[in-house]
Structure 1
């Protein structure tokens, strides 16, 4: 495979078939500690669903909404 100037590659047909990839599907590339890259299908979740999942539980702040709004307003 060759990388284009835009950093794109074409996944060979046989690999797409083995992974069950169709046009429009999203994939992730994971680089292991050994420097090897693995192409992983992202499944049926949308990009937005993956972002929400990644952020869920990250905003645990012991402030009330009123306290947060006061900080936002600079009060």
Structure 2
């Protein structure tokens, strides 16, 4: 596969490559240059700070005792389901 470099230094990634990498509009890419001069293109990994923004904050923080109670209740419910 080939691509042509524009005067702005841009290329269009062939559809087969985009599909193979499961790329979507706005995805970030990393260009890795190997010692032999070949270049690998891989999806960029997201920094942890960016991933944190995807997580929802709990409506109310639970105490350790409340967490233990929920775990115990859900564990008991799972045991009852398996025995039924």
TM-score bracket, shorter-length normalisation: 0.5 to 0.7
- Considering Cα pairs closer than 8 Å and 6+ residues apart, tell me whether 1 or 2 has the greater RCO: 1
CA RMSD, 1 decimal: 1.6
> TM-score with structure 2 length normalisation?
0.51
Quote the offset at 1:42 in angstroms: 1.0
> Matched residue pairs, number?
47
* Structure 2, unaligned runs of 5 or more: 51-84
Q: Which has the larger radius of gyration?
A: 2
Quote the offset at 1:20 in angstroms: 0.6
Judging by fraction of residues, say which structure has more helix.
2
> TM-score with structure 1 length normalisation?
0.57
Q: Measure, in 2, the Cα distance between the counterparts of 1:31 and 1:20.
A: 21
Q: 2:19 is matched with which residue?
A: 17
